[in-house]
């Protein structure tokens, strides 16, 4: 459980740093909030949300969490892992295009993917295919 919460926390940070939003039916934050609602109300009621404080609280009570909450945490970690894998794939496949067309763009908040979108006519087939592959997921 310790490792799993550490992975969730680190992946959350990495996801926030990432420059592209991924469509999920329900995102990792919503998954945890829905699955752990009762646990959060029971153990973390006075905790101010933000900066990983809710996850830290759940970590502190890991031995008391419901099965539903544990599953939600695992599910959120899996969603984040898929998103990180997709970002890594895109960055790898679009590396040359990012360098050629977006080298002056500051990463974060979707700026790089917006730059690629603006230059889509000039982007390599390899990068276009990666974007298509990731958008299917």
Q: What is the pLDDT of residues 6-19, one digit of tens each?
A: 444 444 444 444 43
Condensed to tens digits (0 to 9), the pLDDT of residues 112-131 reads 888 999 999 999 999 999 98
Give dist(CA 41, CA 26) in Å, integer. 21
Domain assignments of the chain as residue spans, ordered by start: 2-136
12-55: pLDDT as tens digits? 444 444 433 444 468 898 999 999 999 999 999 999 999 999 99
């Amino acid at each position: 459980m310790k490792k799993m919460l550490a992975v969730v926390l680190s992946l959350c940070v990495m996801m926030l740093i990432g420059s592209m939003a991924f469509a999920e039916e329900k995102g990792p934050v919503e998954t945890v909030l829905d699955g752990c609602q009762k646990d959060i109300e029971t153990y973390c009621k006075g905790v101010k949300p933000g900066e990983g404080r809710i996850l830290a609280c759940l970590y502190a009570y890991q031995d008391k969490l419901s099965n539903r909450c544990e599953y939600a945490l695992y599910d959120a970690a899996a969603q984040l892992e898929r998103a990180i894998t997709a970002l890594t794939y895109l960055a790898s496949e679009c590396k040359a295009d990012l360098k050629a067309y977006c080298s002056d763009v500051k990463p974060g908040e979707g700026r790089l993917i917006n730059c690629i979108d603006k230059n889509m006519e000039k982007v390599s087939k390899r990068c276009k295919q990666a974007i298509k592959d990731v958008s299917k997921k």
